[in-house]
Structure 1
Amino acid sequence: MSQPPYARQFSLAIYQYLASSQLLAGELPEAASWNRSQLAAVSLASLPELNFQQKLGHLYEDALYHLMQAAGVQVVARNLQIQSDRHHTIGELDFLIADGEQMVHLELACKFYLAVVDPAGNTTFPGPNARDNWQIKLNRMREHQLVLSKNPATLKTLQPRWPDASLTTRQLIYGYLFDHIHSSQLAGADFIHSSCPRGKWLYQDEFLQLENAGHQMYQLPKPLWPVNVTAELLELLEPSQPAAITSLDRACMIYNPLENQRYFVMPNSWPAELDHQPAS
């Protein structure tokens, strides 16, 4: 997206979210959550305006980097490519942090998943792009990204600059889990934090049936999808008309201030490979 007119305010909301929000995922066997206590003391007003002309993942990576710098965290490398040889890259380390005699490989993610129950009662967790889902992401992280620090190629890459440092891995997995609007209970998934941020999802043809569909709602710009929606932020956004929401050909995030609730409104065809009718 282009740089929004309220980039400064949006930037502050993202910084605040990264510094203090609840995480999507809890502790993983391969990597505990990174301790963010240092970030809480940062004066957010001193941080730079973010560049919104990039994908959400890169935007949040930049924001976390600025936060860590302001907190005095010694980031010695970003997106450090690990190669088995000069022709083959096997992965990259999102952040490499020097912490005394120890080096920390920090892996960052910001993801959104929707609980979909099939007619047999099985629950899956696809993302807005249904080719992505929580189990695929989790397996990828546990089997590749979070164990990359133990790969001989990684140790070989780090050895020349940090010959004596020990290496450990930490993770920060932000995001939201959405239950269907008619679901009678909250869905659970492997390693999802018990207090993770949650919302509701529904199809476009269900949106107008919402009890409060006629109430003033706001479409959140994608960079703000996960952030805490404050009254100050709402003043910067234009209310959305239901017809505009149901005519979109892509997923959109709607915030209802009356309920303090966010909704993921999905195209009726999503996900194409699954029956989109709610399970009974």
Structure 2
Amino acid sequence: MNESNFSFPKDSVLGMQAEACFEAYLKQSNNFELLTANLQIQGTKETLGELDYIVRNLKTEKIVHIELACKFYLYDEKAGTLEEQKWIGPNRKDSLFDKLEKVKLKQFPLLQAPETIQKLEELGISKPSSQELCLKAFLFLPNKMAAAIFPKPFQDCIVGHYIKPNDLEEDKTALYAIPNKKEWLLPIEIVANWYTFSEIKQLIDAQLKINKSPLIYKKTPHIMERFFIIWW
């Protein structure tokens, strides 16, 4: 992607940041032609939903409906019986299972609604012949759990670990950052505010008190790592 033509929407919420990046990729792709994005489908009284992207595959000439999701999940072996239920949000409010069910039961079926078909006809877009979910996942394991036990697609998305508050040990050679959620997609190297251990400990405790699991960056002269500290 030609970065000179793209301005990262740093003030938007994380989901909209991911959408902006993906849309910019599609517009400059040699494999796809973006036909429409964020297509709202209106019912008689309310909005039925939204189709994220409809594209033409330039190699096959097929029209494809793509739903995009950008998620941060932590692995909790006790969170469910299915593997998809064990990948949960940092504050236990959602899971990979919940997301897949929403796509399967709500977002994908929207394509078949009469209102959707009519809207596509008005835009001169053929009905997509297939649907795909593009899930950009950032996965975190319990500290010291081996990534090798997971299938390769999951291994490729593992970017860090998580710990409990009592497991946070002081490291006088390190500096720490506590990015807000709008900064989670930015490279660690460009984060501006770094703190000593005693300073970051106060900021962490404030988050834990309100049942928020903060994402922490740690850098030393030798390593750079990221991890969540969980309140649960």
Cα distance, 1:164–1:70 mapped onto 2, change above 3 Å: closer
Q: Which amino acid aligns with 1:208?
A: E
Residue 185 of structure 1 deviates from its aligned partner by 6.1
Cα distance, 1:187–1:261 mapped onto 2, change above 3 Å: farther
Residue 118 of structure 1 deviates from its aligned partner by 3.5
1:104 aligned to 58, 61, 64, which one?
A: 64
Residue 2 (structure 2) aligns with: 43
Residue 116 of structure 1 deviates from its aligned partner by 1.8
State whether structure 2 residue 71 is matched by structure 1 residue 116: no
- The 1-side partners of 2:53 and 2:135 are apart by 14
Residue 91 (structure 1) aligns with: 49
Residue 243 (structure 1) aligns with: 198
Equivalenced residue count is: 217
Cα distance, 1:119–1:129 mapped onto 2, change above 3 Å: closer
The alignment partner of 2:123 has SS state of: coil
State whether structure 2 residue 156 is matched by structure 1 residue 195: yes
Cα distance, 1:165–1:154 mapped onto 2, change above 3 Å: closer
Residue 53 (structure 1) aligns with: 11
Aligned residues with identical type, % of pairs: 23
Structure 1-normalised TM-score?
0.64
Residue 55 of structure 1 deviates from its aligned partner by 0.6
Q: Which amino acid aligns with 2:227?
A: Y
The alignment partner of 2:122 has SS state of: coil
- The 2-side partners of 1:104 and 1:218 are apart by 43
Quick check: 2:178–2:200 contact (8 Å CA) kept in 1? no
Residue 262 of structure 1 deviates from its aligned partner by 1.7
Residue 123 (structure 2) aligns with: 161
Residue segments in structure 1 that go unaligned for 5+ positions in a row: 1-41, 271-280
The alignment partner of 2:104 has SS state of: helix
The alignment partner of 1:160 has SS state of: helix
Residue 260 of structure 1 deviates from its aligned partner by 4.1
Residue 217 of structure 1 deviates from its aligned partner by 3.5
Structure 2-normalised TM-score?
0.75
Residue 155 of structure 1 deviates from its aligned partner by 2.0
Residue 26 (structure 2) aligns with: 68
Quick check: 1:176–1:197 contact (8 Å CA) kept in 2? yes
Residue 40 (structure 2) aligns with: 81
Cα distance, 1:208–1:156 mapped onto 2, change above 3 Å: same
Cα distance, 1:185–1:197 mapped onto 2, change above 3 Å: closer
Quick check: 2:9–2:17 contact (8 Å CA) kept in 1? yes
Query: Residue by residue, what CA displacement relative to the aligned partner does 1:165-218 show, whole Å, maximum 9, x if unpaired?
Result: 5442222211211111143666649x9634223310012232126xxx333244
Residue 125 (structure 1) aligns with: 87
The alignment partner of 1:117 has SS state of: coil
Name the structure with the higher helix share. Answer: 2
Cα distance, 1:122–1:134 mapped onto 2, change above 3 Å: closer
Residue 142 (structure 1) aligns with: 104
- The 2-side partners of 1:127 and 1:157 are apart by 34
Residue 207 (structure 1) aligns with: 168
